[in-house]
Amino acid sequence: MNFNVNAPFDFLGIDTLRLFTAAENVEVNLDLFNPKAYKTEKGKPILSLSDSGLSVIRIQHTRYVAFYYFCFSLSRLYNGVNYSSYSPIDYKEITSRLDTILERNGLTVINWFDIKVSRIDLFRNLKLNRDYNDYIPILKTVSVSRTKVKSVEDSKYHQNNSFKMVFYNKAEQLRNVVKIEDSVLRIECRYTNPKKIKKELGSNYFFQITNSALEDYFHHYCKKAFSVLGQFDFIPESDDLRTELCRYFTNLKKRFPKKLAEEAFTYFEKYQSETFDSYLSDLIREFEKKSESERKRRERKLKTAKELLNTAILVEQTIQDGGHLIDDLRSLLFNNPSKISLGEKEPKKRKKIPA
């Protein structure tokens, strides 16, 4: 494969892959196998080694059950660097490169068709037209169902036990390795559970994972996460947020548009004063020991509060710059969905035509 490793924006990329298999599917040459040994907090014996970006871990789960886990950056395996978007699933290429690393460490996979996937990370780097911080309010409107939101500096993690969707500023990390002057929004989707992978992709056997299935999955989740942004449509007539919120709800033919506008404006003030999240936390604690019906009422109130804040943020954006940032991000996300690179195919040889 021939990749341009200094192109972080060209394609939908695959970063971390974690494969696993039963210990019986791996032959060990004790003369070459030299791992570190330790135990988990629960006392499970672990053997581990690392070579060329590949991390190998053997866990003895029970007396009779042990598994090997192979974790690596696909971009680094192909390109020697972990930031390139040139990183397709090519079963033969990947297994060949992994075999080389494993065999010099005394390990041989007996049957690659028995290898399964327990984690796969997809990413897309979006080259922004303005500073990353200008887009932070719009990113607040992202919603990923059945996940909890965690903020770390300017990063947002929407996560549960089997899935993570992450949004963060990648520019500084890329500038350390690639000459760029741009602001960069990095979007990552991480499957971290083999059952979830099987459910979403149809199989968790490594040889059955396809690039097209990964593309469909990534774009599906992006579309859902940014659904509020994708559906929003409004042109303001003044620079007063209260007035424009009332107009917005009136245009949607909502009941009590003025009341909704006041409520949305209140949530927006809390957001600006950085007290909105604590307000939601207080609301959750208030209903923790309540009845089932009251808990459901709390959930409806939480959902309404988030939806009204999202509306206020987007209406405010249209007032501030005519909605140019909204249109910009919408265009980057939806107009040209990224594909996974399939590499440069060698030209077919012409068949000789008999004289």
Strand partners, 72: 17
d(CA 320, CA 49): 54
Which two three-digit tokens encode residue 127? 């080259």
Cβ-contact 283, 301 below 8 angstroms: yes
d(CA 245, CA 203): 46
pLDDT in tens, 161-220: 999 999 998 776 666 656 565 788 989 999 999 999 999 999 999 999 999 999 999 999
- H or E element in which residue 92 lies: helix 91-103
Using DSSP's 3-state secondary structure scheme, residue 272 falls into helix
Cβ-contact 122, 147 below 8 angstroms: no
d(CA 22, CA 301): 47
Cβ-contact 98, 15 below 8 angstroms: no
Q: For strand 107-109 and strand 155-159, is the pairing parallel, antiparallel, or unpaired?
A: unpaired
With a pLDDT cut of 70, the percent of the chain lying above it is 89
Q: Return all residues near 199 (Cβ < 8 A) that are at least 6 apart.
A: none
Residue with more model confidence, 6 or 88: 88
pLDDT in tens, 230-284: 999 999 999 999 999 999 999 999 999 999 999 999 999 999 999 998 998 888 7
Return phi, psi of residue 40, to 5°: -75, 175
d(CA 121, CA 98): 18
Cβ-contact 166, 133 below 8 angstroms: no
pLDDT in tens, 11-56: 898 999 999 999 999 999 999 999 999 998 888 999 999 999 999 9
* Confidence label for 346 from pLDDT (cuts 50, 70 and 90): very low
Strand partners, 98: none
Task: Name residue 134's amino acid.
Answer: D
Give me the residue label for tokens 């690039």: 211
**105: nearest Cα among 153, 70, 150:** 70
Q: Where are the domains of the chain?
A: 13-228, 236-321
Say if residue 351's pLDDT is above 80.
no
